[in-house]
Amino acid sequence: MAAGLHESTIHELQEKLRRGDVTASEITEAVFSRIEAVDGRIKSFITIMRDSAAACARRADEAIRAGKAGPLTGIPIAVKDIMCTKGVRTTCGSRILENFFPPYDATVVRKLKEGGAVIVGKTNMDEFAMGSSTETSFYGITRNPWDLGRIPGGSSGGSAAAVAAGECIASLGSDTGGSIRQPASLCGVVGMKPTYGRVSRYGLIAFASSLDQIGPFTRDAEDCAILLNAICGYDPLDSTSVPVETPDYRSFVGKDIKGWKFGVPREYLIEGIDPEVAGLMEESIGVLESLGAERVDISLPHTEYCVAVYYVIAPAEASSNLARYDGVKYGYRSPDARDLIEMYRKSRSEGFGAEVKRRIMIGTYALSSGYYDAYYKKASQVRTLIKRDFEEAFRKCDVIVTPTAPTAAFRIGEKTDDPLQMYLSDIFTISANLAGIPGISTPCGYTGKGLPVGLQLLAGHFQEGKLIQAASALERNAKFEKRRPAL
């Protein structure tokens, strides 16, 4: 059965647009028809931008007729509601920003527009990106298109669900501890966290500044390469942006991996990993071996400290970053405060949700006088050891292979009362953020209940091309049948 326009890939639509088989306006209309049909059940979006998207699609058609098409002209793309969009509400999934309309675009949003993309809306997310299930949003829970009783992952659950459900062709998310890769796995799409510093964070509302990174959700590795080409590059507006040359990531698609070494870290084969997930990972490794790659066992000895280190560093940085939301210059202000101190207290207590408050309190404690050395400083030192583990491992292998998440999507409400169990959802993804390396999640099969599972591939700093090459090879030779959610 041929895919509808809303189910197509970027590269398929580019070819149709080039041949004149379809217009950008027709593609955009197909996407909005899909949003109308299914988003009432999924809740992928916080803000839908129908009028501006239709106008942008008309301009795209004019550009194509004039022979001036850009790399994304006419392609409907959604953006996580943590990236500033000029004149369009940007909430971070929080009440405290329910009426925030940024005066400028994030650099990635500007690059999408310059590339001709049609931005269709702002996607739902865990509040301030703090969560693994998209259950902490002030604007409601996002549901997994594969099973509406299950979570889509988080914090970029809306972006992942929108791509999986055909409500956009691709999307952008942000990844602080796995927030692109984990929902990509749980929703059966491709999701990449680039190297820290590869994509500008200017206009990305900060959660944990030394960990946050923007990346793409797509339907295949080639689309991931196309979107990476559009958003990567040095930005003088971002002090953490690194001035390194960006290759053409599309050139890595379809290359063979013969002679490559794939490292499997023994520390990741833990108790608690779902046997079906472990089995699908082994099958994927078998596919890679059949293509001439070699499996090598490696060690990442400080893995056991990753979750503890992350949940000191990330809340500490969040505590500092979220201090700006005080009800004074912008954002929610409590209407019934009698003095300045009460306004601060009430605005923050009414504006933030429970998970955000929990992390602010943890972070404030970790940074407080007398505890900084014991917590934040010590965690930063262990972070350096984790980074060195990866540097040593990449001397023995080209790419590291792990599960993306320990299980497939769990049920809505299953872990909301147990923060520690929720935090462990990101046990395989956190280390890449701590080390600053790139990682991709690519679909590798389904559980017996028909839920998608992702395989995580990790590479050295600025080696996103290797990840595209490996994911593309796996995708083209995968043994499992490709499915779509039956909505």
CB 160 within 8 A of CB 168: no
- The set of residues, in sequence order, having a beta carbon less than 8 Å from that of 213 and lying 6+ positions away, is 174, 175, 176, 193, 194, 195, 196, 198, 199, 201, 433
**Using CB atoms within 10 A of its CB, is residue 122 exposed (0-12), middle (13-18) or buried (19+)?**
buried
Which spans in 399-480 are helix H? 419-423, 430-435, 464-477
**Using CB atoms within 10 A of its CB, is residue 349 exposed (0-12), middle (13-18) or buried (19+)?**
exposed
- What is the Cα–Cα distance from 43 to 124, expressed in whole angstroms? 7
User: Cis (ω within 30 of 0) for the bond into 155?
Assistant: yes
Give residue 271's region: left, alpha or beta (phi > 0; psi -120 to 50).
Answer: beta
Residues facing residue 214 across a β-bridge: 174
- Residue 429's closest CA among 448, 392, 404? 404
- The set of residues, in sequence order, having a beta carbon less than 8 Å from that of 70 and lying 6+ positions away, is 63, 114, 115, 116
The Cα-based distances of 367 to 307, 311, 316, 364, 372 in angstroms read 18, 13, 6, 5, 5
CB 22 within 8 A of CB 13: yes
Q: Which helix (H) or strand (E) holds 175?
A: strand 170-175
- What is the Cα–Cα distance from 216 to 159, expressed in whole angstroms? 9
Q: Which residues are identified as catalytic?
A: 80, 155, 179
- Tell me the CB-side half-sphere exposure of residue 96, using CA atoms within 13 A: 26
Q: What is the DSSP letter of 246?
A: P
Please name the residue that has the structure tokens 């999408």: 112
Please name the residue that has the structure tokens 């999924």: 42
The Cα-based distances of 186 to 277, 316, 409, 416, 452 in angstroms read 11, 28, 5, 17, 6
- What is the Cα–Cα distance from 81 to 124, expressed in whole angstroms? 6
Structure tokens at 272: 């608690």
CB 48 within 8 A of CB 21: no
